[in-house]
Chains A and B, each alone.
Chain A
Amino acid sequence: MMTLVAAVLSTALSLAQDTSGTLIPTGGGPPLEIDSQEVLVRINNGVAVTTVTQVFRNNRPNALEAVYSFPIPNEASVSNFSMWINGKEVVGEVLEKKQARQIYESITAQRRDPGLLEQVSYKLFEVRVFPVPANGTQKIQIAYYQPVEYDTGFGQYVYPLEAKTKEFSRVRGTFKLDVDLVSGLPLKGVTSPSHKDQLAVKETAKGRWRASIETPRGALDRDFVLTFEHERETTGLTLVPFRNGGDGFFMMLLTAGRDQDKIVDPVNYTFLLDVSGSMGDEHKLEQAVRMIEQLAGGLNEKDRFNILTFNIAASAMFPDGSEPATAANVKKAGSFLRALKPKGGTDLIPALEAAGEQQRKDMTNVLILLSDGNATDAEEHSRFRRLLERGGRVRIFSIGIGNEVNRPLLNTLAQATGGYSDFVSSADEVDRKTKHLAAKILHPVAENLVMKVEGVKTYDVVPDRLPNFFRGQQLAVYGRYNGDGKATVTMTGTLGGKPVTVSTEVEFPKSERDNPEVRRMWAWKRCDELMQENRSRGETATRVDQIVELGKEYSIVTPYTSFLVLENDQQYRQFGIEQRNARQIQDDRAAQDRRAADSAPRTTRGSGGGGGGGSVELGFLALVGALAGSRAWARRRKAA
């Protein structure tokens, strides 16, 4: 029997911009109810894989076409899209976008049932599903990868739940979220600032934690935030490899600890605060104001500061330029900030130009930008580009507030000026983020970093140029390797202007199949770097081809590639589509199952890969003792 399930993405549906993980009939009407929503999060030493399975219900007497749209958080990469057709999971495959659409259209013309998932913007994906059966359900699963944020001894994972409209804010059946967390570094604890009362947490083995929420008619009204604290801040390097035949993949996690002194020379700070109308939503302005108050309160009296507010125009608290950070001026800033009212649109260009005028030649200049950052045209703006080219005089720390932030824009601003970007979710802990930011502003930064690996050949390393490295930060470097065995990793650079060299020995294994996340993360980071180059230098056919090839090879959805779901294996063969993703998904799930069955983390192996040992433990020793003891007792009794 011909199935009548189809999914296709549409870039034209603007209503999807206001939704989050919802299925909306294209013919109008309210969104479909969510029967159940299960979220499985597996965090393996800095990489989180989130699998979201949702069942939607159509209570209407007629079949519907609907658009499923969902946002992707925190630089995540979609790695799988599955639909259940006739009760069976069908895994999507990544194709070049145009080819995927052509195949999709050729099939839908025959009323068959493909599915097509495309990227709408850098963070929004949509799937058109047809039909959702009358009085029936449709099950959809999406998986995405993301690096876990790490800062000053804390790791943080955010699952975006906050629905914009009350109608979407509740699951009809059960909402379930399960986190399986593996950490090579010892953890002090795991908690959720957003769902503290609903979250059950258990340490199942050393370095392995499980956290879970399960609620009938679960509310989807705020983001789920999970934080975990390491037992100590460590400075060092962790190697997480993956190799399953051929050349290997690696992730190196570099962590900066406490061994840095504070900056002593006075600094000229400019706080650039977005006061546009959108900052009035979800207490964003209050959060930003609180951050500035705390940061300004920590400044030295010899430091200078000014606060610039902007919407479509910018204005300064001290019109004649920055003033010393005296107690009176900091108090004045508090009154100024509390009187602010959000209004108007957002234009970042005049704001950055006005901030540029605040900089002093006789001091180190730091610009702290706080915005919900929806000035999407800024990147295209020639003045924006000129502003960045002037970078170097001022270091920009950009702080994104809320979930609608244009992350690439804020990241570009920070990277181009040797600064740092961070993002505060609406449900986030503002105080902790402020503390982290203060640590970065007040401590010297490691600059001009170069990583060298000797003993094993490494290549295609991303990022190509290492960014500045701030106190408390974790830097993830991805790459490929050829050969195996011990290798020396040397990091050189400057810290506070003085040359530093750090060297350590790691072992690249011949075989290691437990970390397939590393393979996809490497490919995604490569794609991301190529896309950033396209943005900053203009799109080239070579770069686009590389992105398409990486997308197809490693199943990554990009602006140039899409997921296509066909009805069955036969259809994939018919269109000559190799089912690479289906194979990778099998590998990924097998590795996840192996890890789930382990009693201890198998992933962080600073000096080895894939080795294990059988060891006698206390329970067995007790049995052996009982056996030997009872024999001795029997012998004595017999002798007596």
Chain B
Amino acid sequence: MKGSATATAARAPLFTLAIVALSGLSLLAPETFELSRAGLAAGELWRLFTGHLTHHSPYHLLVDAGTFAILGSIVERRLGAGRWALLLAASALLISLAFLALEPSLESYRGLSGLDCAAFAAALWLEAPVHRTMTILLGAGFAAKLIYEQVAGGFLFPSTNLGDMGLPVLSAHSIGAAAGFGALLALRGTLGCRREASEGE
């Protein structure tokens, strides 16, 4: 595993960049790919996965996909493209199902930020053996942010709103983080990685 991890670390994060590119393309026809109850009811099950790639505006895409590029690169270098793709698919499915169950008023959803949070949780998990203090601090900060959002009913920095690009879904971050973390734990065996494998960097 150690050698494999070192090898993947040297490669460009192609899968992550492909996802970013697909997100950009989906801006051309977001209605076809967004997560929507009506679409799913009509049998368009791909929306469970593609909804995360769609966005309400170029600005929305820029912040979500930019963050994804950073976090995806970290995770992809640790896990390799195949395992990262598996983790991402599982997270996307979990997040979509969680939205459908926990946000009954939501008719449709767009945005990579749920997966961003999943990637962030995964990155912390993978980094923890190497950068223990840093990951504990960032993990605590992340947890505090999620708790604050749920308790206060708003973002810590409400000025960073969605503008005209739809309604911010407050639970996106906590659902995303939980899904990412859950998927990582559930797939640990399948992914064939242990956190120790990360020590190559």
Q: In the complex, what distance in Å separates the CA atom of A613 from the CA atom of B56?
A: 7
Q: In the complex, what distance in Å separates the CA atom of A206 from the CA atom of B106?
A: 20
**Contacts A204-B154, A627-B123, A635-B201 hold; do A511 and B74 have CB atoms under 8 A apart?**
no
Q: Which of A510, A514, A620 touches B173 (beta carbons < 8 Å)?
A: A620
Q: In the complex, what distance in Å separates the CA atom of A403 from the CA atom of B104?
A: 41
Per-residue CB contact flags for chain A residues 506-543 toward chain B (1 = under 8 Å, else 0) read: 00011111100000000000000000000000000000
**Contacts A613-B162, A627-B123 hold; do A619 and B145 have CB atoms under 8 A apart?**
yes
Chain A contact residues, majority secondary structure: mixed
Interface pairs (28), CB distance under 8 Å: A204-B153, A205-B153, A513-B104, A594-B105, A598-B167, A599-B153, A599-B168, A599-B170, A600-B154, A600-B167, A610-B106, A611-B34, A611-B109, A612-B109, A613-B111, A614-B112, A614-B168, A614-B169, A615-B165, A616-B113, A618-B157, A619-B155, A620-B113, A623-B142, A624-B67, A627-B71, A627-B134, A635-B201
Q: Which of B117-147 contact A (CB under 8 A)?
A: 117, 120, 123-124, 127, 130-131, 134, 138, 141-142, 145
Q: Which residues of B contact A (CB under 8 A)?
A: 34, 37-38, 55-56, 60, 63-64, 67, 70-71, 74, 103-114, 116-117, 120, 123-124, 127, 130-131, 134, 138, 141-142, 145, 153-162, 165-170, 172-173, 176, 201
Contact assessment for A611 and B108 in the assembled complex, using a CB-CB cutoff below 8 Å = yes
Q: Which of A514, A599, A608, A631 touches B127 (beta carbons < 8 Å)?
A: A631
List residues of chain B with CB within 8 A of the CB of A513: 104-105
Contact assessment for A611 and B63 in the assembled complex, using a CB-CB cutoff below 8 Å = no
List residues of chain B with CB within 8 A of the CB of A619: 145, 155-157
Q: For the complex formed, measure the closest distance between the CB of A274 and the CB atoms of chain B, giving whole angstroms.
A: 49
Q: In the complex, what distance in Å separates the CA atom of A608 from the CA atom of B109?
A: 12
Q: In the complex, what distance in Å separates the CA atom of A597 from the CA atom of B149?
A: 10
Q: In the complex, what distance in Å separates the CA atom of A599 from the CA atom of B152?
A: 9
- Say whether A504 faces chain B, with CB atoms less than 8 Å apart: no
B175 to chain A: closest residue by CB: A614
List residues of chain A with CB within 8 A of the CB of B173: 614, 620
Contact assessment for A613 and B60 in the assembled complex, using a CB-CB cutoff below 8 Å = yes
List residues of chain A with CB within 8 A of the CB of B34: 611
Q: In the complex, what distance in Å separates the CA atom of A631 from the CA atom of B165?
A: 33
Contact assessment for A612 and B168 in the assembled complex, using a CB-CB cutoff below 8 Å = yes
Q: For the complex formed, measure the closest distance between the CB of A636 and the CB atoms of chain B, giving whole angstroms.
A: 13
Contact assessment for B107 and A510 in the assembled complex, using a CB-CB cutoff below 8 Å = yes
Contact assessment for A612 and B167 in the assembled complex, using a CB-CB cutoff below 8 Å = yes
Contact assessment for B113 and A614 in the assembled complex, using a CB-CB cutoff below 8 Å = yes
Contact assessment for A613 and B165 in the assembled complex, using a CB-CB cutoff below 8 Å = yes
Contact assessment for A511 and B37 in the assembled complex, using a CB-CB cutoff below 8 Å = yes
Q: How many residues of A contact B (CB 8 A)?
A: 40
Contact assessment for B145 and A620 in the assembled complex, using a CB-CB cutoff below 8 Å = yes
Q: Which residues of A contact B (CB under 8 A)?
A: 204-206, 509-514, 591, 594, 596-600, 602, 608-621, 623-624, 626-628, 630-631, 634-635
Q: Which of A509, A591, A623 touches B138 (beta carbons < 8 Å)?
A: A623
Contact assessment for B166 and A616 in the assembled complex, using a CB-CB cutoff below 8 Å = no
Contact assessment for B111 and A615 in the assembled complex, using a CB-CB cutoff below 8 Å = yes
Q: For the complex formed, measure the closest distance between the CB of B57 and the CB atoms of chain A, giving whole angstroms.
A: 9
B130 to chain A: closest residue by CB: A634
Q: In the complex, what distance in Å separates the CA atom of A619 from the CA atom of B159?
A: 11
Q: For the complex formed, measure the closest distance between the CB of A591 and the CB atoms of chain B, giving whole angstroms.
A: 8
Q: In the complex, what distance in Å separates the CA atom of A608 from the CA atom of B31?
A: 12
A606 to chain B: closest residue by CB: B164
**Contacts A511-B37, A597-B153 hold; do A611 and B145 have CB atoms under 8 A apart?**
no
Contact assessment for A620 and B67 in the assembled complex, using a CB-CB cutoff below 8 Å = yes
Q: For the complex formed, measure the closest distance between the CB of A629 and the CB atoms of chain B, giving whole angstroms.
A: 10
List residues of chain B with CB within 8 A of the CB of A620: 67, 113, 116-117, 120, 145, 173
Q: In the complex, what distance in Å separates the CA atom of A619 from the CA atom of B156?
A: 7
B176 to chain A: closest residue by CB: A614
Interface centre among B107, B117, B169, by most chain A C-beta atoms within 10 angstroms, is B107
